[in-house]
Amino acid sequence: MEVHLLTQEELTSKRKAQINDLFKQLSPNKTQQDLAYVLNSTNPIVFVQCVEADRLLGIATMTYYRVISGYKGWIEDVVVDENQRGRGIGTKLIHKLLDEGQSLGLTEILLFTEDHRHAAIQLYSRLGFVRKDTRIYVHR
């Protein structure tokens, strides 16, 4: 099992299909963005994948940006294949994002998870994430 950054060169039609299948497990009602655009060099993103024998087991992404309050990262779209959960894949994905965040010099890494995702909440807590006293709003 290997966790590494997904590059534009690795974005084959097979890998795109695997990512699409994983994303549907996380958010079946959301439309997935075009992966070539997501991985475009002008888009500040870290996209990590966990692969075993050319099979995609999990993915996670982190965008990063500078604002007055710091140089921040935001973790999104963490998903481990439902048939592979319990193997520590989520932990490996988040550790890789945290390592990349440290290399970038991020001052803070944030993430959002829904209240019903108990396993994710436990994972993030084990890895040192703490709940912020804030509210997140969305405008659509």
Q: Which domains does the chain show, CATH number per domain?
A: 2-126 (3.40.630.30)
- Quick one: average pLDDT of 31-60? 95
For the CA atoms of 81, 19, 51, 12, the dihedral, rounded to the nearest 10 degrees, stands at 160
Residue 133 has which token pair? 């006293």
Cβ atoms within 10 Å of 95's Cβ, excluding its own: 14
- Quick one: average pLDDT of 30-47? 93
d(CA 10, CA 89): 20
d(CA 74, CA 48): 14
DSSP letter (8 states) at residue 10: G
Cβ within 8 Å of residue 19, ≥6 positions away: 32, 35, 56, 59
| Residue whose structure tokens are 């995702």 | 117
For a pLDDT cut of 90, what percent of the chain falls above it?
Answer: 85
How do residues 48-62 score in pLDDT, each as one tens digit? Answer: 999 999 999 999 999
Computed on alpha carbons and rounded to an integer, the radius of gyration of the chain in Å comes to 15
* Residue 62, amino acid: M
- Quick one: average pLDDT of 88-102? 98
- Quick one: average pLDDT of 15-21? 96
Cβ atoms within 10 Å of 98's Cβ, excluding its own: 18
- Quick one: average pLDDT of 109-132? 93
pLDDT > 90? residue 77: yes
